[in-house]
Amino acid sequence: MISLKSLILNKFIFLNSLINEEIVLSQGFSFESLSKGIIGIIILILITYLISKNRKAINWKAVSIGLFIQVLLAISVLKIPFVQSIFESAGKIFVKILDFTMEGTKFLFGDLVSAENFGNVFIFSILPTVIFFAALTSVLFYFGIIQKIVKVMAFLLSKALGVSGPESLSVAGNIFLGQTESPLMIKAYLEKMSKSEILLVMVGGMATVAGGVLAAYIGFLGGTDPEMKIFYAKHLLTASVMAAPGAIVISKILIPETEKINSNLDISKNKIGSNFLDAVSKGTTEGLKLAANIAAMLLVFLAFIAMVNYLLNGFGEISNLNSLINSKTLYEKLSLEFILGYLFSPLMWLIGVAKEDITMMGQLLGIKLAASEFIGYIQLASLKDVTSVIHLNYEKSIIMATYMLCGFANFASIGIQIGGIGALEPKQRENLSKFGFLAFGFKGHVAELTPTAPHNLQFPPPNCSIYILLIF
């Protein structure tokens, strides 16, 4: 029986056969990549340490355990068949739910959802996924299924890393829920939470993605190919799970806990809906709002990017920068992508990206930071296409980008958290406002770049990563 890995390799090879250029597959261990990984860990942890509000209080034991957990998860996903099968099975469930969503979408839009006739139209093929997953999540929450899973994961995080019960519940909940929905489970504790706990709640929200949005990413990156959907589902799920200990590690360096922690793991009694139908109705309504928000956000940000690029291109023509850029770089003209690519390229080199891809990877991180992860994935879909004029050269880079973009860390999230969590507990609004940029900058991105990325393996996992030393 042909394995998933073989199928994916064959797809890469088939695509490569159509054109002269090839996607370079991972080559295995090298001293250079190991060195980069170690340097990356040291520098990024050092940066976080220098920004820390209380360096003397940092619990380095917990930090080390958090890093170890991420490495262990990475090895498990890569090397242990049983763990691999768990993530692949979970990925298949997500893909199957995407198929269920398509049935409802076909009824509403008919042939408009046909990729053969109209291509992969975002508003018809992707956004309905967000609505259905929101309704499904609401039902699972109503029956207490999500709470039970979250409680088990929170217990493990709390015991392993020494964090409080409420904040571990929030971080674990973020794997399944959004950055404002997860705090609902700890609403009763928000008022008395310390600054360290509030920061972790914010950092955890920015580090992960909600299930509905995750499903949308899977559908978008995988297109109409079931095997590619499972491939991206596995990696995106891994990224979201591994972001939890990453969030704890970074936030506890930034603001270490100095107060007595609350070990209580009781979930606040918040039910979505009075009955099953009410839960479905409310989930659907929230999903519709989210889908509309995503659509509006994409429209506006893509339009803004186009406008900025138009102005930059005009300046490039007048100053003769365009011809210089065209002759000396892989870009054709002065653009936002060019500026962001070179601005973040040193960081991309630091985390182990091949020098041929560092500017394009930097471009993706910059776009995600300034706009949203959705915009980043839209550009990734183009950059992973070997038929595009500008595309990523290494399979490793494509996978690392998938992990790097998986998270809510962008400027808009600061306002979302201040408004959403602040509405649940107004007394914490001052701390939320104070820690907004701290959570965004250092968790959102350092921790997204922190979980392991054994990028020289055939299929590198977890969150792009500072911990690229896991390269064997």
Asked whether the beta carbons of 94 and 63 are under 8 A apart, the reply is no
What average pLDDT does the segment 2-14 reach?
A: 46
CA dist., res. 211 & res. 445, Å (int): 20
The pLDDT value given to residue 16: 41
CA dist., res. 440 & res. 364, Å (int): 16
Question: How many other β-carbons are positioned within 10 Å of the β-carbon of residue 389?
Answer: 9
Query: Which pTM was predicted?
Result: 0.76
Dump the DSSP string for 336-397.
Answer: HHHHHHHHHHHHHHHTT--TTTHHHHHHHHHHHHHT-HHHHHHHHHHHT-TTSSS---BHHH
Look up residue 56 and give its DSSP letter: G
pLDDT in tens, 297-335: 778 888 888 899 999 999 999 999 999 988 888 788 899
> Range with the lowest mean pLDDT among 22-26, 116-120, 345-349, 452-456?
452-456
pLDDT in tens, 404-444: 887 777 777 777 777 778 877 788 878 777 776 666 654 44
Q: Which residues of 429-449 are buried (b: 16+ CB within 10 A; e: fewer)?
A: eebbeebbebbbbbbbbbbbb
pLDDT in tens, 383-397: 888 777 788 888 888
What average pLDDT does the segment 455-463 reach?
A: 37
N- to C-terminal Cα separation, the chain = 27
pLDDT in tens, 229-276: 888 888 888 888 888 888 888 889 988 988 888 888 887 766 667 788
| CA dist list (Å): 338 to 97, 301, 304, 350, 367 | 38, 17, 16, 19, 11
Model confidence at 115: pLDDT above 60: no
The pLDDT value given to residue 20: 39
pLDDT in tens, 161-198: 888 888 888 888 888 777 777 887 888 888 888 888 88
Question: How many other β-carbons are positioned within 10 Å of the β-carbon of residue 24?
Answer: 17
Write the CB contacts of 333 (distance below 8 Å, at least 6 apart in sequence). 312, 313, 316, 321, 322, 325, 326
Model confidence at 53: pLDDT above 80: yes
Place of tokens 């100095």: 258
| CA dist list (Å): 167 to 20, 182, 237, 249, 266 | 51, 10, 21, 13, 11
Q: Which helix (H) or strand (E) holds 111?
A: none
Q: Could you give the percent of the chain with pLDDT greater than 90?
A: 5
Phi, psi (deg, nearest 5) at residue 394? -120, 135
Which of 185, 235, 218, 226 is CA-nearest to residue 404? 235
The pLDDT value given to residue 129: 84
Which of 375, 353, 354, 355 is CA-nearest to residue 364? 375
Model confidence at 51: pLDDT above 80: yes
Model confidence at 87: pLDDT above 90: no
What pairs with residue 394 in β-bridges?
24
Dump the DSSP string for 212-269.
Answer: HHHHHHHHHHHTT-HHHHHHHHHHHHHHHHHHHHHHHHHHHHHS---S------PPP-
The pLDDT value given to residue 246: 84
What distance lies between CA 329 and its chain's CA centroid?
A: 29
The pLDDT value given to residue 317: 92
CA dist., res. 136 & res. 87, Å (int): 20
The segment with the largest mean pLDDT, out of 1-5, 13-17, 71-75, 304-308, is 304-308
What SS3 state is found at 163? coil
Task: Identify the residue with better confidence: 293 or 121.
Answer: 293
Residue 37: pLDDT band with limits 50, 70, 90: low
Asked whether the beta carbons of 183 and 191 are under 8 A apart, the reply is no
Dump the DSSP string for 270-325.
Answer: --SSSSHHHHHHHHHHHHHHHHHHHHHHHHHHHHHHHHHHHHHHHHHHHHTHHHHH
CA dist., res. 242 & res. 462, Å (int): 7
Place of tokens 């900025």: 308
Task: Identify the residue with better confidence: 461 or 200.
Answer: 200
Q: Which residues of 111-146 are buried (b: 16+ CB within 10 A; e: fewer)?
A: eebbeeeeebebebbbbbbbbbbbbbbbbbbbeeeb
Mean pLDDT across the chain: 77
Q: Angle 121-122-128 (CA atoms, 0-180°, nearest 5)?
A: 115
Q: Which helix (H) or strand (E) holds 454?
A: none
CA dist., res. 378 & res. 127, Å (int): 14
Model confidence at 69: pLDDT above 70: yes
